[in-house]
Homo-oligomer: A and B are copies of this chain.
Amino acid sequence: MGKTIPVVEKITKANDQIAAMNRTRFDEHDIFSLNLMASPGAGKTSLIEKSIPLLADRFRLGVIEGDIATSLDADRTEAAGATSVQINAASCHLDAPMVSQGLDQLDLPSLDIIIVENVGNLVCPASWDLGTHLRVLIASVPEGDDKPFKYPAMYRGVDVLVINKIDLLPYVIFDMDRFREGVEALNRGVVTFPLSCQTGEGIGAWVDWVADQTRQTATL
């Protein structure tokens, strides 16, 4: 298997070059960009759906949906009011060239925020820079409080942590202190938003943060 190493290195290097180009495109158009990662079903599409109407009066949103199959997610975010493009991941993660193709399909001068929704996976997406400004991980309460310990690369590598489905805390075994200890050991002081996409609790703080970051990006 030794032969695979140079090939993988070449691919990673090419990815990082294209990620840098994606970043330049975001910056040229004063667009704030997020790479949204999570397990399948943690609430990536739901968070985007709930955020769009709360941001739409101030900002114009674009969404790049990476999915293995169907355009279900892009249909949902488009219906919620964001220009949405679907890219066929055919893979366990998005990479920078896929995001670049997504950007080609969006009218960048007309947008303020682009959210890239990655493939549902706590492993592979952690290794691929997409060129976005920040990486956001959504953990969800029913997944259990041991996930930081078990998927450390993902928890270590993100800038923001959303803890979704806090409305389920009374019904599942989830020790918030243990979870937060696991997170802190890997990623001290990471910005964290506990919330529920179902009840709306906590969404306001998250949306305010996205709005602040978008304004800061535009004035840089």
Contact = CB atoms under 8 A, between A and B. Distances in A.
Contacts of A7: 1, 3-4, 7
Most buried by B among A70, A92, A142: A142
Given A149-B70, A150-B69, A142 B122 contact: no
A5 to B, nearest CB: 10
A165 interface: yes
A54 interface: no
Contact of A72 (B72, B119, B150): B150
A208 interface: no
Chain A interface, >50% SS class: loop
A197 to B, nearest CB: 10
Interface in A157-174: 165, 167-168, 171-173
Contacts of A91: 123
Interface residues of A, number: 40
A188 to B, nearest CB: 18
A124 interface: yes
B150 A172 contact: no
Interface of A: 1, 3-4, 7, 11, 39-41, 67-70, 72-73, 91-92, 119-124, 140, 142-144, 146-147, 149-153, 165, 167-168, 171-173, 198
The 7 A-B pairs with the shortest beta carbon distances in the complex, nearest first, are: A41-B143, A92-B123, A142-B142, A39-B40, A41-B144, A40-B122, A92-B124
Given A68-B151, A92-B123, 5 more contacts: A69-B151, A70-B149, A119-B123, A120-B151, A121-B124
